[in-house]
Structure 1
């Protein structure tokens, strides 16, 4: 288990013991009692199709929250509109604490890039698990051997970059790189990260910005190579410690996709406190550590108002990038 995950699990456990919500803390305190009152059938909405990163996250969170409450949590995929269908459905469940949604950066990018009936302030932030920072990857036989080389090549000639839609994290990252370096990539849109990888392997595109968990297998097999990671620090997962950050290569870009949980807007304070207590208990356990490690995420759990402040800051930054 990476050191960052171990440290966070220990800190979360200590917090639960201090606040009386841990399993070994004696008689349950007010938060623990509230947590156990979540006895209704609950629906976890995933606004994308089965098998993708959001689906994996939604199912992991649902199982984790179900394990620390008496709620029965069913995952329901409501895909379409690059996530807009699922978020629009949650909008109709205002005030109902028996609905949750597995959220990520599309929550912010969709209202900025498309005409939606919602924005992030219409929902109740519950928990952010951590962040995915994308890797710039190429085929093994690519002549490019670093992010700086990719940028220099884009200044001289056509470099084709695959992206999974205008609202995707990879499109945001390429936009940030272009704004920072004054260069331009010829972007080709696809419907999913899987299609981007297939096109990269087939040689139809030159570069792609993808989450580590999406390309871990191809990196291990040697079919793809990572040029850099768009993060503040290098990943400390095995096999990734040697991948430099973009900033190490002179490109001032670091931006991660969060993964977390929303509730509908307008839920009661008591319901929110129950979900917050359950979220903290989930993060303190092995299921959270296993999900983070398996998904190759950078753990950074945030709850309630802290998650809301993170969304405020991220939205302001994306407004500047996507609506310059």
Structure 2
């Protein structure tokens, strides 16, 4: 998780970026047979190596495999927990020749940092291609075995939990546990990998984690899973025996969406083109392998359905935050 000072500096940079953009540009008409050309940037507002970066590279690869006459190239523009990249993408308004890969933090970051100049409505929703969730893991010798036991234990003694950010899925998990009555001291880390390293080293006692990142530690016996925050159990043989929080009597789920956006105010022909080609790419083996390897939940909401989902999701996040 970024420090408050670093985040403030990034947000100041956002303001500079926006002030340098011309608001007097005239958008030329878009022909009805429009297609992308040349290099198509696929922007991701997170650093290389994380889940958002991986999803961007998979989407770019599926588009390139279709051989459509353009090259999709991932561009990372991280900073401010996503604020720098998303603010930069605002300057692409009306440009149909670029894409943005985003996830749940696009809803939550403007709720935590109200001075950012964008919301999810600043961009054009194209396709939600996957959903993700989280599980809660602890060291193998922890004195609790379920999420309700963890909540109960936190009432009697200090429980130190890790988190990879204030606006992402880890924060949502912690929020659900606190809503159930838990109290935790949160240690911030820069990534899920760092969180799990901290748990392995004994710096923290419990941590939210994606299923794919937690699985090797569960297989090795270093960690035990207390519950999943998914709506249903995972089908993976290693994780199938881990109950959901709902099964344990807690009304708690965490679902993180992953999706593709166009720039704001693109033409309808551009929006329709991208929805069609992204969905065609999602029928590839590359996409199916990605879902399986990252233990993601398949999803396919496009256009207005995706926009409606975002509205509902945003309303829920406002309650959480």
Q: TM-score, normalised by structure 1?
A: 0.86
Match of 1:53 in 2: 51
Is 2:148 aligned against 1:152?
no
Look up the SS of the partner of 1:249 in the other structure.
coil
Q: Name the counterpart of 2:141.
A: 141
For 1:307, the equivalent position in structure 2 comes to 306
3-state SS of 2:247 partner:
helix
In 2: Cα distance, 1:70 partner to 1:239 partner: 42
State the alpha-carbon separation in 1 of the partners of residues 197 and 182 from structure 2: 25
| Structure 2 unmatched runs, 5+ | 1-31
Q: Distance in 2 between matches of 1:275 and 1:71?
A: 13
Q: Is the 8 A contact 2:36 2:96 kept in 1?
A: no
Q: Using the alignment, how far apart are the partners of 1:251 and 1:171 within structure 2?
A: 17
Match of 2:14 in 1: none
In the alignment of these two chains, the number of paired residues is: 288
1:216-272 superposed Cα distances (whole Å, 9 cap, x missing partner): 222222222211100111111221111100011111111211111111101100000
Does structure 2 retain, via aligned residues, the 8 Å contact 1:276–1:303? Answer: yes
Q: Where do residues 84-163 of structure 1 align in structure 2 (5 Å cutoff)?
A: 84-114=83-113, 115-163=115-163
Partner of 1:184: 183
Contact 1:34–1:273 (Cα < 8 Å) also in 2: no
- The DSSP-based 3-state class of the residue aligned with 2:136 is strand
- Alignment partner, residue 264 of structure 2: 265
Consecutive unaligned residues of structure 1, counting only runs of 5 or more, are 1-32
Alignment of 1:226-241 (within 5 A): 226-241=225-240
Match of 1:63 in 2: 61
CA distances 1:286-307 after superposition (whole Å, capped 9, x unpaired) = 1211110011001122111111
Match status 1:197 vs 2:185:
no
Look up the match of 1:206: 205
- The answer to which of 118-127 and 68-77 deviates more is 68-77
User: In the aligned structure 1, how far is the partner of 2:63 from the partner of 2:177?
Assistant: 37
Q: Deviations over 1:56-84 (max 9, x none)?
A: 11100111122223220111110110111
Q: Give TM-score, length-normalised by structure 2.
A: 0.86
Q: What SS does the corresponding residue of 1:248 show, helix, strand or coil?
A: coil
In 2, Cα distance between equivalents of 1:245 and 1:94: 41
Q: Secondary structure at the match of 2:84?
A: helix
Secondary structure of the equivalent of 1:111?
helix
More helix by share: 1
The range that moved more, 72-81 or 284-293, is 284-293
Q: Is the 8 A contact 1:90 1:99 kept in 2?
A: no
Cα distance in 1 for residues equivalent to 2:216 and 2:84:
31
CA contact (8 A) 1:46 1:77 kept: yes
CA-atom RMSD in angstroms? 1.5
Q: CA deviation at 1:34?
A: 6.4
Counterpart CA distance in 2 for 1:301 and 1:241 is 24
Which range moved further: 142-151 or 245-254?
142-151
